[in-house]
Structure 1
């Protein structure tokens, strides 16, 4: 575990390779150089190698090398498993909180308007606070099962509802970032918005849940599958779509090149098509 300081931003990080640290992209923001604080009190310069805003992952090269590398799991934990969150909340370095895995494949409601990263996450009740971002979520054996990402604050009525990016996602994205400098993601080329009551009334949509198609990239998979602005996507890849976050989460779990079923509502009619997932 390390602390990552990027200007006024303070977050956490985890050693990924002997000279590489992984953290959240929102921790480093647009910084190119950061300061990395280690558990033994040593501080070292770090240099941001690459970031991926879709998954909110960043990789940083440390001037201090030969760092001990922890074990990263590739399988999802199970709901009810013990979880430990380690980080630097509010600057309290190497803080550990304990809880359980509360759920898998979670999306934070309403997050899609700000970012595409808050989908397909691990939920935990181990306390996560500002500064925990980028830190480790461990299981009872000390294996890293996720990178802490976000929490719902108490003012929203929440108590210990935190989220982490699954380790398998982190490993897949960081490998691409370190190899090519960018990560490739499944892509539909569809701009979507929430289906609100006024929009339902205006468009005479007979369903009250789904993702409203606002626009389509020319020649993109969504357009080739026959979608049009005004359509309401209600299922994708065999999963129900009640919100924009549902669609983003289902897309995250597909692979580029896969042909997936998609169900949409148009003019009151329910239609199924097949879309070949692209890359972005």
Structure 2
């Protein structure tokens, strides 16, 4: 028997070993499947699970995952900013026709040698005496704001002019008449008599915000109408020494000599301000320009058209800002109010008994924190109005009543 089985042992052993190897390499022969290798495709190309699948995945993991508090995430609010246009041509087309070039000229006396006034030397020249007069011309810009032909510009553009010529974008030219000027705000109103005038739209300049797109339109250096772009850099700029009443819009749109009186418009082509001045060490644009807000220009326009002048309230005081040292010397707890530096003769303040050295604390119940703001508030008061004024004199608090007068028109400089 053993003799018959012995030849079969090695084939059986070999068959068992072969079966073990095959089952190890091909387990599906037993009817089960081994785990598959993960997909090798890039993660970004795999579709995200839907809501139902995500719920199932979360449920399956809930039993095995360790419970932890969710992290506190700083979430940004969705952006609501409207994207700007790729071009501002539409805004320029709307506003530019109403922006004009202004050419003003005046005759001035030429400086001559003193000998020219001596009759002995004059007889040698006879009728060929050199003329003592010469013509000065200047250029600027303006904005047509009404169908009646009223044009807003700067006072310094037409100061002392004997003749003012206005040139429109469509090629028409005409002489302009001065309706009124206001040196203290550096604004002037002209009038031209032409038909079918383009008119600019004024916007509430209080709505202008830092970062808004601004376009400056004018006639820089007399090269012709030019448009530059920037943003509104600041609002409410004052204490620049440019005029008595300052509330400027600052822009980095390039403004150069000749832009004065031109338009500062927004991205929709509406007038935001009247370009007035630049801050420059070289005389050219350095990205700091100033414009009079449209709201101020509208008020000045109405006053000049109605009265030919701007009517402002006036007390007849010259004041000085209180510093910390002055406040301590006057016995004040804080540096508020203003010190009366002088009282003009026959002024409303003098008639009310205000004296030099008094400290004005409040006007009409409003505390005085800034002399310029206080002066602007008084200017807004209609003349003949009685204002209660609280002041301090020699450590004693007093209350006086001042009847507001009309601010005198300043002399031309």
| Match in the other structure for 2:139 | 10
For the 8 Å contact 1:107–1:246, the answer to whether it is kept is no
Q: Which runs of 5+ in 2 are unaligned?
A: 1-98, 106-136, 408-413
The one of 207, 231, 234 aligned to 1:100: 231
CA–CA distance in structure 2, aligned partners of residues 95 and 274 of structure 1? 53
Name the SS of the counterpart of 1:154 in structure 2: coil
Sort the Cα spacing of 1:96 and 1:208 in 2 relative to 1 into closer, same or farther, 3 A.
same
Deviates more, 1:128-137 or 1:222-231: 222-231
Whole-angstrom CA distance in 1 between matches of 2:276 and 2:191: 20
May I ask how many residue pairs the two structures share in their alignment?
A: 267
The farther-off stretch of 145-154 and 158-167 is: 158-167
Partner of residue 256, structure 1: 382
Q: Using the TM superposition, give the Cα deviation of residue 41 of structure 1 relative to its aligned residue in structure 2, in angstroms.
A: 3.0
Aligned 8 A contact 1:83 1:137 in 2? yes
Deviates more, 1:256-265 or 1:53-62: 256-265
Counterparts of 1:259 and 1:125 in 2: how far apart (Å)?
43
TM-score normalized by the length of structure 2: 0.55
Task: Give the counterpart of 2:315 among 178, 181, 188.
Answer: 188
Q: Do residues 218 (structure 1) and 349 (structure 2) align? A: no
CA contact (8 A) 1:86 1:135 kept: yes
Q: Confirm or deny: 8 A CA contact 2:208 2:272 kept in the other structure.
A: no
The higher radius of gyration belongs to: 2
Indicate the larger mover: 93-102 or 27-36. 93-102
1:106-125 matches, within 5 Å, as 106-111=237-242, 115-117=243-245, 119-125=246-252
The Cα shift of 1:213 comes to: 2.5
1:29-72 Cα offsets, whole Å, 9 max, x none, are 02253011211233221121221222222111214332111111
Residue 166 and residue 255 in structure 1: after superposition, are their counterparts in 2 closer, same or farther (change >3 A)? Answer: farther
2:356 match: 229
Counterpart-to-counterpart distance in 2, 1:24 and 1:116: 14
Classify 1:155/1:179 alpha carbon distance in 2 versus 1 (closer, same or farther; 3 Å): same
Name the counterpart of 1:55.
185
Normalized per residue, the structure richer in helix is: 2
Give the drift of 1:138. 0.9
Taking a change above 3 Å as real, the CA distance of residues 267 and 90 of structure 1, as seen in their structure-2 partners, is farther
User: Residues 95 and 217 from structure 1, CA distance in 2 versus in 1: closer, same or farther, beyond 3 angstroms?
Assistant: farther
CA deviation digits over 1:106-148, x for unaligned, max 9? 213344xxx414x122222222222111111111111112111
| Aligned-CA RMSD value | 3.5
Output one character per residue of 1:227-272: Cα deviation in whole Å (capped at 9) or x when no partner: 322345576644522xx545444545x4326776766665577877
Change (3 A) 1:239 1:208: closer
Structure 1 gap ranges (5+): none
> Do the aligned residues in 1 keep the contact of 2:340 with 2:355 (CA within 8 Å)?
no
CA contact (8 A) 2:343 2:354 kept: no
**Native 8 Å contact 1:136 1:147 kept in 2:** yes
**Aligned 8 A contact 1:13 1:135 in 2:** yes
The match for 1:43 is 173
1:86 and 2:212 equivalent? no
In terms of fraction of residues, the more strand-rich structure is: 1
Q: Aligned with 2:102: secondary structure?
A: strand
> Contact (CA 8 Å) 2:320, 2:338: kept in 1 or not?
no
Structure 1 length normalisation: TM-score?
Answer: 0.78
Partner of 1:73: 203
Equivalence for 1:129 = 256
